[in-house]
Amino acid sequence: MKIAITGGTGFIGRHLARRLAAQGVDVVVLSRESPLDFRGCDAVAHCAGINREIGNQTYDRVHIELTRAVIDAARHAGVKKILHLSFLRARPDCGSPYHESKWAAEELVRSSGLDYTVIKAGMTYGRGDHMLDHLSHALLTFPLFLKVGFREKPIRPLAIEDLVSVLCAALVDGRLSRETVVVTGAEELLLSEAARRVARVLGVRSWILPAPVWVHRLLAHVWEWTMHVPLAAIAQVRILSEGVVEPLPFATELPEDLRPARRFTEEQIRAGLPAPARFTIRDLRCYRLMPR
């Protein structure tokens, strides 16, 4: 069996590629610069996406135009199955270009005429992610952690191992055909509680205080302007202000045997944490322009 992965050098794509290869699947890893060549492939896992716009890497171009191109290339190559990785609360007409473009991509896949599976996934963590990476860096750098809003919304952290198991079931085993399914973690908690658990694993102490959503939006604008990889992007603030628990506008529940079982434990956190480090001047976009 041969499977192509768009966004194959990203967080989820890398983990998926390793799992498929371990199962004996011939994997074609496609990055942003790779041509969309699916010749000989049985399926395509479309995992490419962004959470902020930079230059010509816009939501329309990456989420919508690229998805349309992937579908066209898959048809041309005779690929039968496309798996599309979307976001839990992607939906139309909500005022967020991120959410709306993710929804538009879902609709393209559902109307493609190909066998498909759309995965509406929640906040995913694991080795090489942004969640644990940035959360640990922030806790080691700053004495404060700000809750998103005075009435904090819950999240269901999704272990990358659980998500990849679902992706493989759809790609290799042919399950979840022509379905849009929800995939969230096994445990519901607040982001501030997740931060406390990470802080305990790191052995640091952090003051956790509430802050209005508009403060986080302002900070996100600043971080997007100044940081190579923002501590939090504008789209992420919207995501956290809504909560990451229930899908919108619809999605099918997973079969019992595919439902994620891993809780956000200290063992899971420790396994996914990067090497301890603080944010430094090297994380600023202007650092690359400084004379050496």
Provide the pLDDT for residue 278: 92
Provide CB contacts within 8 A for 68, sequence distance 6+: 108
290 lies in some domain:
no
What tokens appear for 6 in the block? 């768009």
279 lies in some domain:
no
161 lies in some domain:
yes
194 lies in some domain:
no
Work out the pLDDT band at 292, boundaries 50, 70, 90.
low
pLDDT in tens, 162-174: 999 999 999 999 9
- We report the CATH number of the domain holding residue 68 as 3.40.50.720
170 lies in some domain:
yes
Provide the pLDDT for residue 291: 63
**What distance in Å separates the CA atoms of residue 87 and residue 261, rounded to the nearest whole number?**
20
Provide the pLDDT for residue 235: 94
pLDDT in tens, 256-284: 999 999 999 999 999 999 999 999 988 88
> Nearest 5 degrees, angle CA 34-CA 38-CA 41?
135
Q: Tell me if 161 sits within 8 A of 186, measured CB to CB.
A: no
Provide the pLDDT for residue 42: 97
Provide the pLDDT for residue 118: 98
Provide the pLDDT for residue 207: 94
Q: pTM value? A: 0.94
Domain range for residue 51? 2-126+157-185+245-260
Average pLDDT, the chain: 95
> Nearest 5 degrees, angle CA 161-CA 159-CA 199?
135
What tokens appear for 186 in the block? 């096994």
Count of the separate structural domains present in the chain:
1
285 lies in some domain:
no
23 lies in some domain:
yes
pLDDT in tens, 59-76: 999 999 999 999 999 999
**What distance in Å separates the CA atoms of residue 43 and residue 25, rounded to the nearest whole number?**
11
3-state secondary structure 153-176: CEECCEEHHHHHHHHHHHHCCCCC
278 lies in some domain:
no
